[in-house]
A and B are shown apart, each in its own frame.
Chain A
Amino acid sequence: MPPAVTLASAATAGGFLLVLAIILPAAGVLLALAFGRHAERIALLLMPAGFAIAIAILADVWHSQASLVAVMGGWAPPLGIALRADGLSAMMLVTTALVICAVGLFARGDFGMPAGGGEARAPLVFWTMLMGVWSALNAIWLGRDLFNLYVALELLTFSAVPLVCLDGRAETLAAALRYLLFALVGSVLYLLGVALFYGAYGTLDIGLLAGRVRAEPVVWVSAALMTAGLLAKTALFPLHLWLPPAHAGAPAAASAVLSALVVKGSFFLAVRLWFDVLPGLPGVPAAQALGTLGAAAIIFGSVLALRQERLKLLIAYSTIAQIGYLFLLFPLSTGAAAAGIWGSVAWTGGVYQLVSHAIAKAAMFMAAGLIGEALGHDRIAGLGGIGRALPMTIFAFGLGGMSLMGLPPSGGFVAKLMLLTASVTEGQWWWAVVILLGGLLAAAYVFRVLAPALAGADEPLRLCARVSRRREAVVLALAVGALLLGLLPLRPSELLQIGRPAAPTAIMR
Chain B
Amino acid sequence: MSAETLYGLCAAALVGLGLFGSIVDPQPLRKILAFNLLGGGVFLLFGVIARRGAAAGMAADPVPQAMVITGIVVAFSATALAVTLLLRLFETTGQATLRTGAPARPDPDSDRAGS
A393 to chain B, nearest CB (A): 19
Instruction: Across the interface, name the chain A residue whose C-beta is closest to B106.
Output: A310
Within the complex, the shortest CB–CB distance from A479 to chain B, in Å, comes to 24
**Residue interface bits B79-110, CB-to-A below 8 A is 1, else 0:** 00110011011001100001010011010111
Contacts of A177 in B (CB 8 A): 28, 82, 85-86, 89, 98
Task: Assess the A195–B85 pair: CB atoms within 8 A.
Answer: no
| Cβ-defined contact, A181 with B98, below 8 A | yes
- Closest residue of chain A to B99 (Cβ to Cβ) is A174
Does A178 touch B at the CB level, under 8 Å?
yes
Query: Once the chains bind, are A158 and B42 in contact (CB under 8 Å)?
Result: no
Tell me the smallest distance from the CB of A230 to a CB of chain B, in Å: 16
Would you call A195 and B49 a contact (CB within 8 A)? yes
- Describe A's contact surface by its main secondary structure: helix
Contact between chains at B103 and A181 (CB < 8 Å): no
B32 CB contacts on chain A under 8 angstroms: 181
Q: Decide: B77 and A158 in contact? CB cutoff 8 A.
A: yes
A501 within 8 A of B: no
A174 lies within 8 A of B89 (CB): yes
Asked if B35 and A147 make an inter-chain contact with CB atoms under 8 angstroms apart, the answer reads no
Cβ proximity bits A287-313 to B, threshold 8 Å, 1 near / 0 not: 000000000000000000000101001
**Segment among A46-54, A164-172, A404-412, A418-426 that sits at the interface with chain B:** A164-172
Contacts of B38 in A (CB 8 A): 185, 188
Candidate in B18, B92, B106 with the most chain A CB atoms within 10 angstroms:
B106
Q: Could you tell me the distance in whole angstroms from the C-beta of A357 to the nearest C-beta in chain B?
A: 22
B83 to chain A, nearest CB (A): 10
Q: Is the CB of B85 within 8 A of A176?
A: yes
Contact, CB under 8 Å: A202 / B103? no
Given the interface pairs A151-B70, A188-B42, A195-B49, the reply to whether A168 lies near B114 with Cβ below 8 Å is yes
Binds B, one of A326-334, A373-381, A437-445, A453-461: A373-381
With beta carbons under 8 angstroms apart, the residue of A188, A198, A241, A376 that contacts B64 is: A198
In the complex the two chains form, is B104's CB within 8 Å of A245's CB?
yes
In the complex the two chains form, is B45's CB within 8 Å of A192's CB? Answer: yes
Measured CA separation A75–B46 after assembly (Å): 22
Q: How far is the CA of A244 from the CA of B100 in the complex (A)?
A: 12
**A27 at interface (Cβ–Cβ under 8 A)?**
no
Q: Which of A161, A181, A196, A377 has the most B CB atoms < 10 Å from its CB?
A: A181
Contact B82 A181 (CB under 8 A): yes
> Chain B: which residue is nearest A176 at the CB level?
B85
Q: Looking at B74, B86, B93, which has the most chain A CB atoms within 10 Å of its CB?
A: B74
User: Contacting A181 at CB < 8 Å: which of B35, B52, B108, B110?
Assistant: B35
Nearest chain B CB to A290's CB is how many angstroms away? 21
Q: A195-B45, A198-B49 are in contact. Are A168 and B112 (CB under 8 A)?
A: yes
Give the total of A residues in contact with B, Cβ under 8 Å: 44
B39 touches A188 (CB 8 A): yes
Complex Cα distance A131/B67, Å?
A: 25
B74 touches A151 (CB 8 A): yes
Of A79, A158, A180, the residue contacting B63 (CB under 8 A) is: A79
Q: Which residues of A contact B31 (CB under 8 A)?
A: 181
Q: What residues of chain B lie closer than 8 Å to A170, measured between beta carbons?
A: 89, 92-93
Contact B42 A168 (CB under 8 A): no
In contact, B89 and A158 (Cβ under 8 angstroms): no
Q: Say yes or no for B78: interface residue by CB 8 A criterion.
A: yes
* Complex contact B82–A184 (CB within 8 A): yes
For residue A249, CB closer than 8 A to chain B, the reply is yes
Q: Are the CB atoms of A180 and B82 closer together than 8 Å?
A: yes
Residue of B with least CB distance to A464: B108
With both chains docked as a complex, state the minimum distance between the C-beta of A107 and any C-beta of chain B, in angstroms. Answer: 15
B1 proximal to A (CB < 8 A): no
Known pairs A174-B98, A177-B89, A185-B22; A191 contacts B71 (CB<8 A): yes
Among B53, B98, B110, the residue within 8 A (CB) of A178 is: B98
A249: chain B residues at CB < 8 Å are 104
B93/A185 in contact, CB under 8 A: no
B46: contacting residue among A79, A171, A195, CB under 8 A: A195
Q: Which residues does chain B contribute within 8 Å of A161, judged by CB atoms?
A: 81, 85
A378 partner residues in chain B, CB cutoff 8 A: 106
Please measure, in the bound complex, the distance between the C-alpha atom of A151 and the C-alpha atom of B74, giving whole angstroms: 8
Contact yes or no, A165 B85, CB < 8 A: yes
Contacts of B88 in A (CB 8 A): 168, 173
Question: A308 — which chain B residues lie within 8 A by C-beta?
Answer: 103
B93 and A244 form a contact (CB under 8 A): no
Q: Which of A158, A181, A198 has a CB less than 8 Å from the CB of B28? A: A181
Known contacts A185-B22, A202-B53; A245 and B89 CB within 8 A of each other = no
Task: Kindly state the separation between the CA atoms of A169 and B85 in the bound complex, as whole angstroms.
Answer: 12
Instruction: Say which residue of A154, A168, A192 sits within 8 Å of B15 (CB atoms).
Output: A192
Instruction: Decide if B113 is an interface residue (CB 8 Å cutoff).
Output: yes
A281 within 8 A of B: no
Return chain A residues, CB-CB under 8 Å to B108: 376-377
Q: Which residue of A is nearest B38, CB measured?
A: A188
List 3 tightest A-B contacts by C-beta distance, closest first.
A168-B113, A199-B49, A171-B104
Name B residues whose Cβ lies closer than 8 Å to a Cβ of A.
15, 18-19, 22, 28, 31-32, 35, 38-39, 42, 45-46, 48-49, 52-53, 63-64, 67, 70-71, 74, 77-78, 81-82, 85-86, 88-89, 92-93, 98, 100, 103-104, 106, 108-110, 112-114
Given A167-B112, A177-B85, A178-B98, 5 extra CB contacts under 8 A? A151-B70, A168-B92, A169-B110, A177-B89, A198-B63
